[in-house]
Structure 1
Amino acid sequence: MKVTLIGAGSREFAGTIIRDLLLSAPIAEKGLDLTLMDIAAAPLAEMEGYARHLTGLLDHAATITTTTDLDEAVTGADFVVTAIEVNRYHYWSQDFTVPRKYGFRQVYGENGGPGGLFHALRQFGPLLEIARAIERLAPDALFLNFSNPEHKVCEAITRLTSVKVVGLCHGYFQGARQISALLETPLAQLDLAAGGINHFAWFQRIRDRKTGEDLYPRLRELEHEANWVSDWHEVGLSRILFRRFGLWPSPSANHIGEYLSWAEDYVPAQLQYFHDPADGSPWQEGATTPEWYYEIRFADTDRPYQPPKHAQKTLEDTLENRPVVSSEELAIPIIEWVACGVERDLPAVNLPNRGAIPGLPDDMVVEVPGRVVDGELVAVPLEEFPEGVLAMVRLQGSIHKLLVQAYAEQSKAKLLQAILLDPVVDSHNRAVAMLDEFLELQKDILPPLH
């Protein structure tokens, strides 16, 4: 069985997937041909060394191949697993900062909001190149994508190619752990089901796995009693959405907030990227990209007048010292079920809806539980969501559809329509000015638009 990792120079992504693959007994029994592909040769060589280290450590019979050639990597693959970005933090700092410059109170700017649209446009080209290589050279392969913005990327691949693609993310598990903590109940004891779109999913079912008891009434009681500022960065926004719309959202405040016009009231300290504008543009030649912080609480404030740790280029721990344990990522469970017939829990996969969530378009990519039927990964149908939840999710589906059309038609007009539909955009004139600045700032990497 040939499994290809594209973006294999990434320590986090590739290291995790390599460990998961080599720890899978069902895959080992099948026989594993692991191909590592990246356009960056030096990091790729490091990951090859790590993969060979693990095969020796685990006494695994897998064959390891590396290449910088996409066609070679994809040819004959049964599964292609991908996570790629181009100069991630440089462009992400622009995605975050530019909309806010024009007065749009965008949170985060990775998967949603105006910034998420430009992130997607940069990702469509290389990911569609991979998809079309699969179309030519491995048409029966399953494409497992971890590249963000997950739902927008999968929309483009499913609408513009014939490739079987599934988007994967661990955001579901963040929400599940929040519910477990509030209920003070072990996660293994909970029967959960959630759906929506990636980084904006809603738990439809919360039950006791043993008794079948509906635990939503208890969750409402405990949430109402809880200290408002406990873990505010993570769940402050989730709690107010739970109170207003009746279901617990996932994964965390900064991600959910990307899809709401009023999220900033509940997502404090939106630093993420900071620069003093009087120092000039941080993206001009020779300038340093602003530092990135997932949340301000993770910033190094103990030594306030020293450079941030990650700016000092401190060495990471060596890959060989990392624990050799499986992650919660769903790529390998999917491979085990599709290729080896081992049933696994697949609580969150991104696939075309096709009726799985009533009230949403069939061709819209949604995040739902999945299962394998006759060797094919399919969505597990859910019940209908409340109209308030459906309305928020449905709007994002329209934005995604317009975005893919803008890319396919090279249409600046369609992109502007998508921007104007976004909930945080409240001015036509400022939206046009923002669009023009993005097209100039990222002209070397964005697709042509006319």
Structure 2
Amino acid sequence: MTGTLKIVLVGAGSREFGPASIRDLLLSDPLCDHGLDIVLVDLDASELERTRAYADSVAERLGRSVSLSATTDLPDALPDADAVVMAIELRRYFYWAQDFHVPRTFGSSQIYGENGGPGGLFHALRNMGAAVDVARAMEMHCPEAWLLNYTNPLTKLCEAQTRLSSVRVVGLCHGVFHGTEQMARLLDLPPERLEARASGLNHFTWFESVRDRETGEDLYPRLREREREAHWLHDWDEIALSRILFRVFDRYPSPGANHIGEYLGWAREFLGSSLLQFFYDPVQGAPWETEETPTWIYNLGDHPTDVPLFPGSPLSRVRDGDEDGGDGEHGDASDRPLAPSGELAIPLLEGVLCDVDTRLDAVNVPNAGYVPGLPEDAVVEVPARASGSGLQPATMARLPEGILGLLRTQATINRLLVDAFSTGSRQTLLQAMLLDPTTHSYRAAVQTINEMFRLQGDVLPTLEW
């Protein structure tokens, strides 16, 4: 490809995605050598200006001569774009607290509320309209561009974008690296020694093979031995569920208990921190009534004992309502090291736009035989290679039938959710919820749907019974 490359970042005002993507773009020699036109897009003009200032400072530090612009008008940003990279969210922790607690109030056994379970359905619906709008705007203004999506729930949103538009959509997530790191610890090897290939659904993948890059040794036999020898309580909240699944299904899963457990009805006994996430005292009112989003921790590894005694104390290590968690990279960045984020969008773009042969550990794309045993066109996660010839997802070995059974249920739920969104049907949404392993009763499912629409009706698409 010749000429300047135009990359549009949608959701650039984010405290995490915006700065990280800017660094990755400006650190890329192949992309910058072509010439870069970076367009920052966000609905929040004030955050957008902060991101623009950060981008200017990074470009100056790196001596990069690039075109930088910012706009709140997506159609204005898209013409002639080569790629659109998106990460969007609306009052993430405020609404997420509802996703976590409301289904449990009605008896759901979900342990988390981001990607799976009833909470994940509503998280997806809140983002689905905007995600599809981006794809449809691209159909009009840059139909040949790549759409790279980081937004969760990744599989559900990519399913909507691929089924309801004609643009090239690739979902990207770093979750598979967590599983690789966990296996490396069990094996007492550096993670870079592991050649690990996984397939399945995002946040619910299973390693087909694990080999030593230096010797070619199949490490699965050794991993089975080491897992049996390991102390059960080590890093319980992150890997205990993975270890049980490994013992039962004979493949190590990824990324960790919070995410994997969203797709299982029996995972709560393997996540000690489940009831600490967004903890609040109901006597003092629900956080969505007081609009004081409670403390968020990922799991016990976030060290809740380090929470300060009083708000504002300097020991705070938790996230309490910032849209993307933490204070990100805005502000004075002059003395911070500039290092790649490890995310996969820019390596993928170096491949398809600059013809750099690139190995990608995980891409989320419509299934075309890549994961045998799962429905065609369902969005699946597999390794891939990117080059000037395009993106080449790997065709993986067939997973054991027990694993495929778990995955097929989720693939059907994802399809029903997109159907519910596209037809405006709460009845179809109810089908998806009744298929979910964490739903225990018909009445509770109906009550959950009605209550979530009561609480989030202003940010959810219109669905009727």
TM over 0.5: yes
Q: How far apart are 1:376 and its partner, in Å?
A: 2.3
Q: How far apart are 1:134 and its partner, in Å?
A: 0.6
Q: For the residues of structure 1 that align with 2:53 and 2:228, how far apart are their CA atoms?
A: 52
Determine the structure 2 residue equivalent to 1:388: 402
Q: For the residues of structure 2 that align with 1:86 and 1:129, how far apart are their CA atoms?
A: 15
Determine the structure 2 residue equivalent to 1:376: 390
Trace 1:131-210 onto structure 2 (pairs within 5 A). 131-210=135-214
Q: For the residues of structure 2 that align with 1:178 and 1:105, how far apart are their CA atoms?
A: 26
Give CA-to-partner distance per residue, 1:274-305, whole Å, 9 cap, x none: 12222223212x54122211124424424663
Q: For the residues of structure 1 that align with 2:273 and 2:235, how far apart are their CA atoms?
A: 14
Structure 1, unaligned stretches of length 5 or more?
A: none
Q: For the residues of structure 1 that align with 2:85 and 2:307, how far apart are their CA atoms?
A: 40
Q: For the residues of structure 2 that align with 1:225 and 1:413, how far apart are their CA atoms?
A: 48
Q: For the residues of structure 1 that align with 2:191 and 2:280, how far apart are their CA atoms?
A: 41
The answer to whether the Cα contact below 8 Å between 2:15 and 2:328 also exists between their aligned partners in 1 is no
For 1:399, what is the secondary structure of its paired residue?
A: helix
Q: Compare 376-385 and 148-157 and name the one that shifted more.
A: 376-385
The answer on 1:279 being equivalent to 2:278 is no
Q: For the residues of structure 1 that align with 2:98 and 2:131, how far apart are their CA atoms?
A: 21
- Which residue of 324, 337, 350 corresponds with 2:338? 324
Q: For the residues of structure 2 that align with 1:150 and 1:42, how far apart are their CA atoms?
A: 27
Q: How far apart are 1:345 and its partner, in Å?
A: 1.6
TM-score by length of 1: 0.97
For 1:2, what is the secondary structure of its paired residue?
A: strand
Q: For the residues of structure 2 that align with 1:98 and 1:237, how far apart are their CA atoms?
A: 24
Q: For the residues of structure 2 that align with 1:40 and 1:214, how far apart are their CA atoms?
A: 50
Give CA-to-partner distance per residue, 1:241-275, whole Å, 9 cap, x none: 00000001000111110000000011112111112
Q: How far apart are 1:191 and its partner, in Å?
A: 1.4
Determine the structure 2 residue equivalent to 1:78: 82
Q: 1:387 to 1:188 in 2, by over 3 A?
A: same
Residue 377 of structure 1 aligns with an amino acid whose one-letter code is L
Aligned residues between the structures: 449
Give CA-to-partner distance per residue, 1:368-413, whole Å, 9 cap, x none: 0112366322321000000011110111000000000000000111
For 1:11, what is the secondary structure of its paired residue?
A: coil
For 2:16, what is the secondary structure of its paired residue?
A: helix
The answer to whether the Cα contact below 8 Å between 2:7 and 2:85 also exists between their aligned partners in 1 is yes
Q: For the residues of structure 2 that align with 1:398 and 1:319, how far apart are their CA atoms?
A: 47
The answer on 1:103 being equivalent to 2:102 is no
Q: For the residues of structure 2 that align with 1:12 and 1:348, how far apart are their CA atoms?
A: 21
Q: How far apart are 1:11 and its partner, in Å?
A: 2.1
Residue 85 of structure 2 aligns with an amino acid whose one-letter code is V
Q: How far apart are 1:30 and its partner, in Å?
A: 0.8
Trace 1:423-434 onto structure 2 (pairs within 5 A). 423-434=437-448
Residue 376 of structure 2 aligns with an amino acid whose one-letter code is D
Q: For the residues of structure 2 that align with 1:127 and 1:429, how far apart are their CA atoms?
A: 31
The answer to whether the Cα contact below 8 Å between 1:259 and 1:423 also exists between their aligned partners in 2 is yes
Q: For the residues of structure 2 that align with 1:240 and 1:33, how far apart are their CA atoms?
A: 48
For 1:19, what is the secondary structure of its paired residue?
A: helix
Residue 410 of structure 1 aligns with an amino acid whose one-letter code is G
Q: For the residues of structure 2 that align with 1:205 and 1:379, how far apart are their CA atoms?
A: 16
Q: How far apart are 1:106 and its partner, in Å?
A: 0.6
Give CA-to-partner distance per residue, 1:120-148, whole Å, 9 cap, x none: 11111111111111110000000000000
Determine the structure 1 residue equivalent to 2:360: 346
The runs of 4+ residues in structure 1 deviating greater than 6 Å are 312-317
The answer to whether the Cα contact below 8 Å between 2:10 and 2:84 also exists between their aligned partners in 1 is yes
Trace 1:427-446 onto structure 2 (pairs within 5 A). 427-446=441-460
For 2:209, what is the secondary structure of its paired residue?
A: strand
Give CA-to-partner distance per residue, 1:298-345, whole Å, 9 cap, x none: 244246632373559997674514320112100011000001111112
TM-score by length of 2: 0.94
Q: How far apart are 1:77 and its partner, in Å?
A: 0.5
Q: Compare 7-16 and 146-155 and name the one that shifted more.
A: 7-16
The answer to whether the Cα contact below 8 Å between 1:169 and 1:348 also exists between their aligned partners in 2 is yes
Q: For the residues of structure 1 that align with 2:46 and 2:98, how far apart are their CA atoms?
A: 27
The answer on 1:238 being equivalent to 2:239 is no
Trace 1:30-45 onto structure 2 (pairs within 5 A). 30-45=34-49
Q: For the residues of structure 2 that align with 1:162 and 1:225, how far apart are their CA atoms?
A: 50
The answer to whether the Cα contact below 8 Å between 1:339 and 1:375 also exists between their aligned partners in 2 is no
The answer on 1:27 being equivalent to 2:41 is no
The answer on 1:114 being equivalent to 2:106 is no
The answer to whether the Cα contact below 8 Å between 2:237 and 2:300 also exists between their aligned partners in 1 is no
Task: Please report the RMSD computed on the Cα atoms of aligned residues, expressed in angstroms.
Answer: 1.6
Percent of residue pairs bearing the same amino acid type = 50
Trace 1:207-286 onto structure 2 (pairs within 5 A). 207-270=211-274, 271-284=276-289, 286=290
